[in-house]
Structure formats: structure tokens, C-alpha cells
Structure 1
């Protein structure tokens, strides 16, 4: 998608003489653009798939570009080429590898698609500090393939059920339509507050549907039945986590903040972990215990 490629390169803002680490060579097009701007000697590109990397090298060579190619785990970066002035990822992450920060110069910039397990994803632009941390805002929405090392298994709904429907689920009701949480920024805000949870949607011919919520630990599940022209929706929940209750509370927090878009969120990365914040680093998004 050319508009996404160029918007991310604009956020990266590479300057003449900068050394750039690219995570995810793919077809090689983005690496070619970087080489054209900075010179091949200043570009290192990492690709986990050996066949893709070989194909990209051939394409780049035909275009007379010769960046340093690395076949390996993009989460590890490439310490042999460090320090870098810029790091750009062409795959999404749920955790920014600290190797990208530690291999960057102070003042360096990291641009990467970031999103929680639940969904909702945006491009973050981090600036690296002297103390080994990095922080910055989200600049636009996006949807990328996940970094291979961070992909989680997503079992089917049947693996969560202990018996015939509704299994051991407890039935309640909610006035919040599951459709309300389909907004991309709402999914992002919910996902940040409800870690380790992902949704699936089962649609029916009459226009109704069931929203399934699953935890990645395969301990808890929930369903909400979405039907047109309803004001109350049936909820079934099971397991130690009440997943719909968590999602509903997270949605109401987002709503209470004025339904912020991605431009009001940011991310701080430290050696110990990462924190999503709203409006300023001193205002972390709450994550219930």
C-alpha cells in the first residue's frame, strides 16, 4: 500500500548520512527506497524467511541497490550494524523489542506498527533517550502482519467449551451493543486494558451475530449476541476471567475520555517493559489488576 509505505517513511524522516535498520525485507521495495535516499551502505534489512530474503536480494540487485541483507529474527535487530539512527518495522508488534532501542543512538527514531492482542493497531513513532528508553506518539492507524516471533495461537471456540451449550457459562445481559466495540480505535483502547484476549465473530444469515471473546491462556471465554434493533444483549461468561465485564469496563473508560483517536495515545518502552499512555507519558492507560 504505497500511501502507508510513504507515510511511515515520512514519520521516520531519514536524513542524509543516517544508518537505518529495517525489520522485514519483504519484497525489498521499502529497502530500495531507503537505499535510494541514503545509499546502500547505510541500510541494513532483516528478513526471517530465507526464500523471501533471496528473492528480495535479486530484485534489489537488478535495481542496483545493495543494502546489507540479514536472514534472522527481526526481534533481535542486527547488533553487528549498530548503532542506528533510524529503525523501521514493516510488520506489527505487540511488544517493541528492546534490542531496537539498545541498538539505536540517543535521539534516534523507531517507527513500527503496534497493536494489542484484541485488535486495533497504529504506527508509533518513538524517540530514543540517553537512558535507554524510548517514547513517542501514535501517528496513524494501520493493519500489518504480526512479527512472526510474536504471533500467538488462537484456538477455536470449541476448545473453550466444557460441554453442550452453554457449557458452564453464566448468563447475564448488557445494554452495550457489541457493535460499539467494532471501532478500530475502540478495539485498541480495549485491547490495551484487557491483555491476552482476542475476539472472533460468528455471523448468521438473518443479520445477527455472536461476538466470542477468548483468552490466550485458554481458561476463560464469553459471548455476546448481537441482534438488530435490540437494547439488551445476552451475555454468557465462563472461567476465572469475566471477559465481557473486562471489555465493557475498558470501553466505558475509553468513552469517558471522549473516545480518543490514535493521535492522543503514545507508548514508552523501557528495558523492563512498555506502557501505553493517553495525552502524556505521565498518564498511563489503566490496566486493571
Structure 2
């Protein structure tokens, strides 16, 4: 480890810290110290994928570009297609090094102190585990990684840097009971439900911090504090973050293959609610809908001029039993054709969820929270006494 700021990585790191501080404000000195001691580029593989198109960036071929990518405030994809060669097919990210800004933001929110015992879910490259180990101390951090190959690589990097963090290959949803209880638990992958073992493995007064996801949208961070009895935890959401979903909570659905069938005879109706109100740019609206409609997802189909449809919003349940489509003809922005199939009237549910959000003055994630117990979880608005209504069948 080195704190030398005169080499190329040091120059880039200083610029990165200035950029991140401009977004977050002054960083905790221990976070800054960890960033200098645990250099990000030492935890990235020689081949990464960058940009929206997941272009290959290889250190051997383009060392300067690779180093710049290592210290850009952007995620670096470190594995595609769960490690399988996609050939000429589509690439999709299956592991990544998160953007430094969100890493530092979460470290500040987690409030790790020297001597804290920390459990990390999702080791990835090992960089975040290294930062945690530098702050908490040797022997205080356990990190769980579902991909055994990634776990082995991260373990080697941490050993090479002299950082005393234990890396375990396993299912992060189960936590790691052998080193429990923990003062802090942090996930670097998003969850749709908080795994119950996390609650039972964190001390009373301890903190659970995780990115949040719903089938509707991936958005928000959830910070829970465990109560004095250790049987429940509660806390607020905050905006920010976009993380890959925990592998065992993924749902691999493709609308036309898995939901819509030739024999379906949908019911036709009309709506005055524009589909883009609920599913375009307003992340506050999408977050609120996701909390209410926990098993509903959507996708857009641009269909210029075909069958008189310019744009279609598809909405479906994750169990593929109900779906709806809302059509915009490219002309009339006051009336839209609705098609619905299955036991649930999904568009009606979406409209009701959106109306509730409007009624409560368009709240963002920071007004929402969640209470977790050993038997379930309840999202709420403003306080636990005001639970968020749940969509779905009566």
C-alpha cells in the first residue's frame, strides 16, 4: 500500500476525490485515507468493459485508457454474462466495480468505525472490502461472493495488498453466521426483499445498508437500524444508486416469449392517463409505484406507425399471469387505448398507485422507509404508522 500522490494513479485519484467531493461535500477523513491506501486500479482485472455499449478496455492494449477508466467516476464492468463468452451475442453485466461516488456515499452512510465487525454482501473485485478493512481493522471484515472464481480473485488481491479481509464463496442472501454478530452489514448488490438472515446476524443498534430494487425500477438505498431486541429493523430510503440485482432474486422474463400468447384475448378500454407519466423520466413516481406494485414490471416498445401505434407501454406481473398494454397513436395525447389480460387489471392498479402518489404530494424516496421483521417487511411513508398500500388482488 502507498499514499504516494505523485504517480499517475495518484494524480488521477486526487482528481477523482475532488470530483466526488463536489457532489457529496467534504468526505470523511477516514474515507479519504482509505481511498489513498487502497488504490482502485489494483483491484480491477486487466480486462474491463466500459460505457453504455460495454466496450472492451484492455490494460495490455491500452494501459493509459485502462488507468483512466479505473479512476473515472463511473462503474467498470468486470464480468459479462456470468463469465460465459457471449461470442457475437449481447453482452450484459454480471459483476462490476461500482462508481466511486456511490462507494464513498455508502461508506459515509454506513458509518464504519475502527473495531466494528462488518459483513459485506457482494465482494466483486474486493476494492470495497479493502476500504472497509482499512477503516475497521484487520480481521474485522467478512465478504461473501456468490461467484467462486470472483471470490478467489478478490481474495488474492486483498492478500497482495496486506488487507485482512476474509472472503467467502457463498450465497450472500444467507449472510455468514460463522462470524456473526456484526456491527454493520453492507450489500453491493440490489435486493427486492431484505434477506431475513441479515437481520438476525446484525447486533441490536447495528446498521444494514443495501441498494434497493423492484421489478418496476432499480433505485434507492435503504438504511435500516436494528432495534434493541434484535427482532426488527427500520429506517429510511434515500435516492441514488443503480446496482445489479442479487443473483438469486433475478427474474429472467422476456415479454413476448414469457407473457403474451397468441391465444390471449385481452379486454379493450381507454384511459386519459399518459403512459409516460408512470414510466418515463420521473424516478420519484417510479420508486413509489415500485413499492406499491412489488411484482409488476414494465417495458417500452417503440412501434412507429405499425397498426396505428407509435409507442406501447407493456406492464406485466413477474409470474407472467397478467399483462396490460397502453398504446399511443402518435397524435392524441389525451386518450390512450388499453389492453388487459389475466386475472388482474394491471393498468387499473398502476393508475391507482400513481393517484396515491399524487395525493401525497409526489414524495421522493427520502420520504419513504421500511420496517423489517423476522416474518416480513412493510414499506411506509413518512413514518411506520403510515404503511404504503400494496397493489394486487384483494
* TM-score, normalised relative to structure 2: 0.70
Residues 77 and 103, structure 1, Cα contact 8 Å, conserved in 2 = yes
Of 298, 310, 313, the residue aligned with 1:208 is 310
- Which of 134, 137, 153 aligns to 1:39? It is 137
CA distance in 2 between partners of 1:101 and 1:268 (Å): 11
CA contact (8 A) 2:185 2:202 kept: yes
Q: Answer yes or no: is the 8 Å Cα contact 1:120–1:187 preserved in 2.
A: no
Higher-Rg member (1/2): 2
**How many residues are paired up?**
287
Q: Hey, what's the Cα distance between the residues in 2 that align with 1:228 and 1:280? A: 42
Who is 1:264 aligned against?
367
| Aligned residue number for residue 243 of structure 1 | 346
* Residue pairs, 1:176-187, within 5 angstroms: 176-181=273-278, 182=280, 183-187=282-286
Unpaired runs of 5+ in structure 2?
Answer: 1-98
Secondary structure in 2 matching 1:51: helix
Task: Measure the CA separation in 2 of the matches of 1:56 and 1:159.
Answer: 37
The separation in 1 between residues aligned to 2:164 and 2:115, in whole angstroms, is 16
Q: 1:218 aligns with which of 320, 336, 346?
A: 320
The answer to whether the aligner puts 1:277 opposite 2:375 as a matched pair is: no
**Pair 1:120–1:91, CA change in 2 (3 A):** closer
Deviation at 1:139, TM superposition (A): 2.0
Secondary structure of 2:103's counterpart equals helix
Matched, 1:254 2:357: yes
Shift of residue 70, structure 1, vs aligned partner: 0.7
2:214 pairs with 1:116: yes
Instruction: Measure, in 1, the Cα distance between the counterparts of 2:185 and 2:294.
Output: 26
- Going from structure 1 to structure 2, the CA distance change for 1:159 and 1:71 (only over 3 Å counts) comes to closer
Deviation at 1:130, TM superposition (A): 2.1
Residue 159 (structure 1) shift: 3.5
1:77 aligns with 2:165: no
Could you say which residue in structure 2 is the equivalent of 1:234? 337
Whole-angstrom distance in 1 between the partners of 2:330 and 2:129: 47
Structure 1: runs of 5 or more not aligned:
none
- In the alignment, the residues of structure 1 paired with residue 253 and residue 261 of structure 2 have an alpha-carbon distance, to the nearest angstrom, of 17
Runs of 4+ in 1 over 6 A off after TM superposition: none
Kept in 1, the 8 Å contact 2:288–2:364? The answer is no
Alignment map for 1:21-40 (pairs within 5 Å): 21-40=119-138
- Indicate the larger mover: 200-209 or 68-77: 200-209
Question: Structure 1 length normalisation: TM-score?
Answer: 0.95
Preserved CA contact (<8 Å) 1:199 1:214: yes
Secondary structure at 1:41 match in 2? coil
Query: Take 1:184 and 1:241, find their aligned partners in 2: how far apart are those partners?
Result: 25
Farther-moved stretch of structure 1 (114-123 vs 21-30): 114-123
Q: Which digits, 9 at most, give the CA deviation of each residue in 1:135-167, with x for residues without a partner?
A: 000122221111111112313224333427xx4
Q: Does 1:172 align with 2:269?
A: yes
Alignment check: 8 A CA contact 1:179 1:226 kept: no
Instruction: Report deviation, 1:66.
Output: 2.7
Equivalents in 2 of 1:147, 1:159: separation in Å?
Answer: 21
- 1:123 Cα deviation after fit: 0.3
Distance 1:227 1:192 in 2: 30
Query: Shift in Å at residue 205 of structure 1?
Result: 4.6
Which one scores higher on RCO, CA 8 angstroms, separation ≥ 6?
1
Is contact 1:120-1:184 (8 Å) kept? no
User: What residue number does 2:20 align with?
Assistant: none
Which shifted more, 36-45 or 19-28? Answer: 36-45
1:195 CA drift (Å): 2.5
Separation of aligned partners in 2, 1:63 and 1:18: 21
Indicate the residue corresponding to 1:3 in structure 2. Answer: 101
Report the secondary structure of 2:139's partner residue.
helix
